[in-house]
Homo-oligomer: A and B are copies of this chain.
């Protein structure tokens, strides 16, 4: 078997493990995986806009509206019209939202970090190098599909987010 195939199988195991585990965790927290992700993205900077979040998650704006609707209904985020540009909505995490995030830890975080930090130093270094390499390979492939950040954009304006 080719080594590229072996690496693909390992990659799929990673994808599968995170997906299944994420579903379990979300269920335990009373949220869906998607809701947790939206919440985390907003919480990173404390506020965001529907447009920015949808771009970040690779989802359409109408979809983001409904996702935010649900989080608002649960009292985890709130909408406030932007003062600067009144077309925009600013999304803020509420106190309840912060608590929800704290209760619903990152799907990857707990299990993985504990195991990772138990590894010997040289192995940690190897894993970091390898993961960044693979992420680079995959990101590069994705750029072909959506070459958003080309020179034109760089010339025009500093990237948001």
Contact = CB atoms under 8 A, between A and B. Distances in A.
When all copies of this chain in the complex are counted, the total is 2
A96 interface: no
Given A117-B4, A134-B131, A159-B122, A139 B17 contact: yes
Interface size class of A (residues with CB under 8 A): 35 or more
The secondary-structure label for the interface of chain A is helix
A109 B122 CA distance: 30
Contacts of A140: 111, 115
Interface in A96-148: 106, 108-109, 111-113, 115-117, 122-135, 137-142, 144-146
Given A4-B116, A112-B138, 5 more contacts: A7-B124, A10-B128, A14-B14, A127-B130, A127-B133
